Each structure stands twice: as structure tokens, then as C-alpha cells.
Amino acid sequence: MEVSCLWSLILVAVFRIVRVHALLPIPIISMEDKIKINEETKVTCMLPASECQCLEVELRIITEEKLKNCVSHKGNLPNVTCTLEVTKDMHEVELACEAHFRTKSKPQKLNIQNEPEFTDCPDNLVWIEGQENSFHCKAKGYPPPTVSCVKDSMVYNEGEKFTTLKNMSGNYNCRAVNFDVVSKKVTVSVQYEPVISLIMVQPAASVMEGENLTLICEADAVPPPSYSWHTPNNQIVYGDDNRTIYIKDATRAHDGFYICIAQNKHGVQMLKLKVSVNEPEIIPQTDVGKLSGHNGVEKIGPAYCGLLAMLIYSSFYYLF
């Protein structure tokens, strides 16, 4: 029983060896057809194409004669070519091609479990309103970590595209997660062009001549905008940042439209406001007389007359 088992193992091993050798490609040797004495000829040893894709092979030309200038080529059609200096004595000399094969497995990487680590995740990001953006926070580790950034319950995965809005400014908590978790803070600043909300006028947009006026332009923008004005009169005073203008002793020349211009590197916006400066109202002399009574004498009302009578009566009562 033991002998039969041993023979079975031997037969299996022989079968495997024969099978391997049967599958190996057979090299081919080629030479020129017409070879002349005292001339050089080329001898080539090669393997058939597409039969040795998974094998590493070394080809040799076997002969007792001296070969020189051997050149090897690898790839889909491996071959080696040598030069043989032919003499008369070489008639019917045998040459053979020999192939030495080496095989190896496909390489496998050794993967070691490793906690996440951010490799490229800037502390500060600047986006522009309306443009397409994403978080580019790269992290390494094994298994490869997933990265996301969170703000106000909104989750943005690494590389996910979105359109930038103003309210996206703020601090984000970016996390890299595999079997462990690491996090870091990323501050986002969203820049946008100016938006003018109003022009505030004190005391009012309609005043009398001689009054003082203050106009203040209110604009929202990142980065903060620069201000300028178009005015109907140059007799005004600007504040330090040009956001405010002051008019002292307004005249009719200050009447008209005031245009505020707010501008930054992303855009410009304008808003205009009408300011009215009115002349003082002159009351005619006849109207003054009507208010005061005939001939400029103010009329006395009934209540005043009654009070006067009581005073006169009281005086007489105490005298007599």
C-alpha cells in the first residue's frame, strides 16, 4: 500500500514536470541562406511571439565556434543576434539556440494598518461667490481614510463640487476616518462683489436752504469696498473712507441726484438718491394782518375778556 502511494506521488511529480516543459515555448534559431567563406554572417536565436508574455527568458546561441558582437532584445519578441566569422572548416558546424526561463509571481504589497494623517489640507481657504469649489483635504492611512468637512450640519465630502454661497464662510471641522479618526479646523472666507443696501440721509432728503446734510452709503462686500460719489455740487466734505459726505449750509446748488459707487476687485455697484433743497417760505404782509387782527392789533377772545372782567370786579370789591 505504501509502495503504491509512493509511485502515485512520483507519477504526479513527473506529470507536472512534463506538463511544464510541454508548455514552455521552444526557441528558434535562424541564419542566412547564402554564407560565404571569409565573410561575417549573423545568427539569431528567438522565441515565437505571444508565447512568453509571463516568462522571463535568457537566450543563448550554443556552438563551439567563436561568436562576437552579441546583442539581446527583450519584449514581445525576445531574441539574441551574434556575429560569426565564417571559415572553410565550418562546413556543417552545428549551432543551437538555448532558452533559460525564469518565472515569478505577481508582486503583492504589504499593507500595514495605519491611522489617518492629513497630507494636504490648508488651514484657510478663500472662495468667490458663485464659483464652483470643493474641499481638497487629502489624508493617508490604511485602510484609505474617507475625508469630509462639516459646518452647521452640512457635510461636504472631499472633492465634491458645489456652487459657493455667501453663507459658506466660517469654520469647518474636517475629519479623516478609517479605523481611527483625526480632525482639524479649516476656515473658509467667501468673497463677493458689493451690494449697496441704502443711502442714509440725515436729517432728511428734503431740507430748507441753510440746513446741514449728512449722506452715508451702506454697502456689503468682501473684501471691503472703496467708495466714491457723483454729486451735483463740489462744495461738500468727504469722510475718511469716502463712505460719508457732509454738506454745510445747503443751497439750491446742492439740489439733485447723489450717486454712491462701491467697488472691490470682484465688481462694482451704484445707487442714487434725490436730495431736495428748498427756499424758505415768505409769508405776505396781508397774511400777517389776518393772523393778528385788523390794523395789526391782535383780537382778544371771549375767554380772555371774562377773565379781565373778573379782575376788575375783584379790585372794586376790595376798594369799597
**Half-sphere exposure in the Cβ direction for 311 (13 Å, CA):** 6
133 strand-pairing partners: 162
Domain 23-102 shares a fold with domain 194-278: yes
How do the domains of the chain map onto residue ranges?
23-102, 114-192, 194-278
pLDDT in tens, 269-315: 999 999 999 988 776 665 544 544 444 434 444 544 454 445 444 44
CATH superfamily name and code, 194-278:
Immunoglobulins (2.60.40.10)
CATH superfamily name and code, 23-102:
Immunoglobulins (2.60.40.10)
Question: What mean pLDDT is reported for the chain?
Answer: 82
223 pLDDT band (50/70/90 cuts)? very high
State the SS3 of 140-174: EEECCCEEEEEECCEEEECCCCEECCHHHCEEEEE
- The pLDDT assigned to 315 comes to 46
On whether the CB atoms of residues 249 and 277 are closer than 8 A, the answer is no
318 pLDDT band (50/70/90 cuts)? very low
pLDDT in tens, 227-259: 999 999 989 999 999 999 999 999 999 999 999
* Comparison of pLDDT for 63 and 36, the residue scoring more: 63
Q: How far apart are CA 93 and CA 91, in angstroms?
A: 6
Q: Please count the other Cβ atoms lying within 10 Å of the Cβ belonging to residue 28.
A: 14
Please give the CATH number for the structural domain made up of 114-192.
2.60.40.10
Show the cell assigned to 191: 468673497
The C-alpha cell 541562406 sits at 33
